[in-house]
């Protein structure tokens, strides 16, 4: 059973466009994180959100945590080829197990 | 600044062989984990450890053993390799903090079982 579902699974857009990817669960997270993974590398942390309704910005990336702490979104403004990668959300459920989502593979076309 | 070091980076095994994937961290983190990554499945937790001498099962523990004799090292053992264990394996060292747990990953071990 996958506790964290991400959508879309694949996304390919032109450079300069905006996009949003989603992370959803039926469970409540104590905290949620977004990671980016490039080919041949391990995932790297982008952000951690802990409060329902929280919004964090990282340059052109905006992360939002749902009010009920069951979902999150990642919005990228004016996408660039360097944004290409696999985006993974991850959450802590009750105990200390860090559980990852299914991932969104993003391709930005120059 | 090494962070998390995994060895080997690539490995081919025959069905039934055993092997150990090594993982070492130099960040003095108590919490470490092993994940496997398959296409379309994200990362799935195999085993984790919250400190030396303490290990617990994750989502997909069958066919794998772990031990944690020191804070630095967390090896993953495949007891009798099967083709279903063909995957990319990532070790993570976890920094726990009031704002959440941050995972630092190694570069992965790409394992093929034939």
What pLDDT digit, counting tens, does each position of A57-86 carry? 999 999 999 999 999 999 999 999 999 999
Q: Measured between CA atoms, how close is B59 to chain A, in angstroms?
A: 9
C-beta atoms of A103 and B103 within 8 A = no
Tens-digit pLDDT profile for residues B11-58: 999 999 999 999 999 999 999 999 999 976 789 999 999 999 999 999
Q: Which residues contact A15 (CB under 8 A, 6 or more apart)?
A: A79, A80, A81, A108, A109, A110
| pLDDT of residue A95 exceeding 70 | no
C-alpha distances (whole Å) from B6 to each of A68, B51, B100, B102 are: 38, 19, 24, 18
> What does the pLDDT average to over B71-78?
97
C-beta atoms of A99 and B94 within 8 A = no
Phi, psi of B83 (to 5 degrees): -55, -30
Closest chain B residue to A103 measured between Cα atoms? B42
A35 to chain B: which residues are within 8 Å by CB?
Answer: 103
Beta bridge partners of A72: A23, A65
Interface A-B: count of C-beta contacts within 8 A: 72
C-beta atoms of A100 and B108 within 8 A = no
| Among A residues 38-97, those touching chain B with beta carbons less than 8 Å apart | 40-45, 48, 50, 88, 90, 92, 96-97
């Amino acid at each position: 059973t996958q506790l964290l579902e991400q959508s879309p699974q694949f996304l390919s857009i032109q450079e300069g466009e905006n996009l949003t990817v989603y992370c959803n669960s039926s469970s409540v997270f104590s905290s949620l994180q977004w990671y980016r993974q490039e080919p041949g590398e391990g995932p790297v942390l982008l952000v951690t959100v802990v409060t329902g309704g929280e919004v964090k910005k990282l340059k052109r990336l905006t992360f939002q945590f749902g009010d009920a702490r069951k979902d999150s979104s990642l919005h990228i403004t004016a996408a660039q080829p360097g944004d290409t990668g696999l985006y993974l959300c991850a959450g802590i459920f009750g105990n200390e197990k860090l559980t990852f989502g299914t991932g969104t593979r993003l391709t930005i076309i120059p | 600044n090494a962070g998390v070091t995994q060895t080997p980076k690539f490995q081919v095994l025959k069905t039934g062989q055993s092997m150990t994937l090594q993982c070492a961290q130099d960040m003095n983190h108590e919490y470490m984990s092993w994940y496997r990554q398959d296409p379309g499945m994200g990362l799935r937790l195999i085993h984790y450890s919250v400190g030396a001498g303490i290990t617990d099962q994750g989502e997909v523990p069958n066919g794998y053993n772990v031990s944690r004799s020191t804070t630095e090292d967390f090896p993953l053992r495949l007891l009798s390799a099967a083709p279903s264990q063909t995957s990319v394996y990532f070790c993570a060292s976890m920094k726990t903090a009031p704002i959440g747990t941050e995972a630092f990953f190694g570069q992965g071990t790409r394992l093929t079982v034939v």
